Amino acid sequence: MARKKKTDWSKDVFKVLKKADVQQIAYVPDAGHTSLIKMAIADNVIKPVSLTSEQEGVAVLSGAWLGGEAGALLMQSSGVGNVINMLGMANECRFPLLMLVTMRGEWGEFNPWQVPMGQATEGVLEASGVIVHRVDEPSEIAETVEAAAKLAFEGGRMVAVLIGQRVVGFKDWTK
Amino acid sequence: MATKSNTKYTLQRRKVVHRILEGRGDAAVVTGIGNAVHDVASANDDPKNMYLAGIMGGAAMVAFGVALAQPKRRILVITGDGELLAGIGSLATIGVEQPKNLSIIVIDNQAYGATGNQHTHTGRGVDLVGIAAASGFKKTALITTNAELQAELPRIHNKPGPYLAVVKVMSKSSARIDAPKDGTYVSRRFRAAVTGESA
């Protein structure tokens, strides 16, 4: 099966984050977030924060809100397992939290080690009180992030956008 | 590894925290879990205190997020050794990011005080000052006496950071002084106080 042609959804998502006045972007890299991370680093307002572990991201964005700024956390689905306990803080304090999660362990996954966490991602987020918006259509990613940002920052909730592996594409490091 | 006793340390944690907070000015304070909450609350329940009363390993990064958003304000972390160890990667991240307005004070009793004083790694050879220095903190200090504490106060409050001090204290805790427990309340009070906006 031919790989889906990658559409450049990252630019539109970045525009949405800028419009939502996101000023801190914390991330643990994923191939699917490559463009967004580059744009965050190049932007002269956004403060990009690279993390050793995703749990730091929930903490730093909690601090961002406490200090009067909005932020977003970029990570891969495997990183969702690292944030669960820290989400308890965001939940208890009702911190707005916007997470953009690129999925592994599902559509066409070649690495069996990715499958357990990928399959558990949506369930553990919901069990932790996070509202989950899943998107598998590239043309719908930006509007989904826009809705999620509104729900997070204005609705005062923890919201995760799961970007399906079908969108991100098969991972093939041999090319 | 042999366990090193902390019976040689004479500083009392509550007195240390009060001494530091006397000079806080308009600094915001983020606490770790457990005794750090009681130590800070017993000094003064300032609206610019964020008590993280129920999370391990998050205090340094929460404070860093505040420090990024409030670059003109000093942000102090008052936390324990166990709490910081649970988020030890934070020191690497903060070392990379170099926030000038962040000071981390580790009240190190070498034990998990809230769960029965079991050993933490700091009493068994792990050197948090060394880790912070190796991670790129601008200035670090090991404090074991009142004179050393006094000498470090300008760096804690005013000099460019990131700064980390480990204060070795007796394992004995002081009386519980409860801070407001409701996270939504404490966090909104804090945000309003540091931003000047109603939350």
Mean pLDDT across chain A, nearest whole number?
A: 94
Residue in B with minimal Cα distance to A48:
B97
Nearest to A61 among B65, B67, B92 (CB): B65
Predicted confidence (pLDDT) per residue in A83-135, tens digit: 999 999 999 999 999 999 999 999 999 999 999 999 999 999 999 999 999 99
Considering chain B, what percentage of its residues have pLDDT values greater than 90? 88
Q: Which residues of B touch A128 (CB under 8 A)?
A: none
Which residue range(s) make up the domain with A36?
10-105+127-167
| B73-89 pLDDT, tens digit each | 999 999 999 999 999 99
Out of B56, B63, B93, closest to residue A63 by CB: B63
For A:95-134, CB contacts with B below 8 A are 95
| Closest residue on chain B to A28 (Cα) | B93
* Cβ contacts of B184 on chain A, cutoff 8 Å: 92-94
CA B73 and chain centroid, separation: 16
Is there a contact between A69 and B30 if contact means CB atoms under 8 Å apart?
Answer: no
- Coil, strand or helix at B85: helix
CB contact under 8 A, B54 and A95: no
Q: Is A97 among the domain residues?
A: yes
Could you count the other beta carbons within 10 Å of the beta carbon of residue B134? 13
Q: Report yes or no on A16 lying in a domain.
A: yes
Kindly tell me if the per-residue pLDDT of B1 is higher than 50: no
For residue A2, the model assigns a pLDDT of 46
Q: Name chain A contacts of B68, Cβ cutoff 8 Å.
A: 24, 47, 49, 60, 63-64, 67, 69
CATH code of A27's domain: 3.40.50.970
- φ, ψ of residue B108 to 5 degrees: the values are -105, 100
Reported as type and span, the H/E element at residue A22 is strand A22-27
* Section B144-151 average pLDDT: 98
Q: Does B61 touch chain A (CB under 8 A)?
A: yes
> Is A115 within the bounds of a domain?
no
A92 and B183: CB-CB below 8 Å?
yes
Question: Alpha-carbon distance B191 to B189, whole Å?
Answer: 6
pLDDT score, position A58: 98
A58 CB-contact burial (10 Å; exposed 0-12 / middle 13-18 / buried 19+) = buried
pLDDT for the residue numbered A71: 98
Window A:22-51, CB contacts with B under 8 Å: 23-24, 47, 49-51
**How do residues B156-196 score in pLDDT, each as one tens digit?**
999 999 999 999 999 887 888 889 999 999 999 999 999 99
Beta-strand runs (E) in A28-138:
47-50, 70-76, 97-102, 131-135
Could you give all domains of chain B from N- to C-terminal order, each with its CATH number? 13-195 (3.40.50.970)
pLDDT at B143: 98
Indicate the number of domains in chain A: 1
Q: Is residue A114 part of a domain?
A: no
Cα dihedral across residues A165, A168, A170, A173: positive or negative: negative
> Does residue A143 lie in a domain region?
yes
Residue B29, classified by CB atoms within 10 Å of its CB into exposed (0-12), middle (13-18) or buried (19+), is buried
Check pLDDT > 70 for residue A175. no
Interchain proximity B54–A85, CB inside 8 Å: no
For A46-95, what is each residue's pLDDT tens digit? 999 999 999 999 999 999 999 999 999 999 999 999 999 999 999 999 99
* Residues of A whose CB is below 8 A from B187: 65-66, 93-95
Question: Which residues, numbered 47 to 76 in chain A, qualify as contacts with chain B under a Cβ-Cβ cut-off of 8 Å?
Answer: 47, 49-53, 55-56, 58-69, 71
For residue range B95-133, list pLDDT tens digits in order: 999 999 999 999 999 999 888 899 999 999 999 999 999
Residue type, B68: L
Domain assignment of residue A121, yes or no: no
Chain B: give the shortest CA distance to residue A67, in Å.
Answer: 5
**In a domain? residue A4:** no
pTM, two decimal places: 0.95
Residue A24 and residue B63: Cβ atoms within 8 Å? no
- Taking CA–CA distances from B70, the nearest residue in chain A reads A67
Question: What mean pLDDT value characterizes chain B?
Answer: 94
Three-state DSSP state, B161:
coil
